[in-house]
Amino acid sequence: MKRQKLETLVREMLVELGEDPTREGLERTPQRVAEALQFLTSGYRTDAKEMINDAIFTQQTNSMVIVKNIELYSLCEHHMMPFFGRCHIGYIPSGRVFGVSKLARMVDMYARRLQLQERLTEQISQEIMESIDAIGVGVMIEAQHLCMMMRGVEKQNSIMVTSSVLGTFRESVATREEFLALVGRRSG
């Protein structure tokens, strides 16, 4: 990412909006925006295998592993406005488990891109499934979208919920129900 080019583009955008990029409050805005965008899109420059970095451990268990309430912050690809919420992950291992912090890092890696919530949910579940050859995976994301809250329909209390279920979570109603109950979103 060329930060200097981003700074130039932000300056041009300020001018197009009718602002003076040399006024006191905006002098460093192009630099700040470029730095923020560099951070908020760092997922494009993160490799999943390097991020996981041998934090997969042998563990013979067929119990469901759940990590709830992983905060996430992303930018919608349609308006480049933030959406934020929580991700809940469940998986049934087949002899290998993740170091728990790697699941949170995985959420961050995919969230720090221009995203659709639906795609983000799928990417996380697919990565978990493929990385440890899990028996099943369930991922649920509950998020609020500023593009829906601040503009357009202006619905401040709306929450979008997406889920991706793979393997036994898709095939078994009982497994899916257990996951939903454990993350506090029992269906029916």
Task: For residue 47, give Cα distances in angstroms to 50, 55, 106, 110, 180.
Answer: 5, 14, 10, 10, 30
Domains, the chain, with CATH or none:
3-40 (no CATH), 53-182 (3.30.1130.10)
The arrangement of strands across the sheet holding 114-115 comes to 114-115, 65-76, 82-92, 136-145, 160-167
Residues whose CB falls within 8 Å of the CB of residue 112, separated by 6 or more in sequence, listed in order: 39, 40, 41, 42, 43, 44, 46, 74
Does the active-site annotation cover 88?
A: no
pTM above 0.85, yes or no: yes
Q: Which of 23, 21, 25 is nearest to 7 (CA)?
A: 21
The one catalytic residue in 19, 79, 122, 126 is: 79
The one catalytic residue in 12, 77, 171, 177 is: 77
pLDDT digits (tens, 9 = 90+) for 1-43: 799 999 999 999 999 999 999 999 999 999 999 999 999 999 9
The token pair that represents 115 in the structure block: 């995203």
The one catalytic residue in 7, 87, 115, 117 is: 117
Confirm if 74 and 112 have CB atoms less than 8 A apart.
Answer: yes
pLDDT digits (tens, 9 = 90+) for 97-127: 999 999 999 999 999 999 999 999 999 999 9
Interatomic CA distance for residues 21 and 11, integer angstroms: 6
Does the active-site annotation cover 156?
A: no
The token pair that represents 173 in the structure block: 């109603």
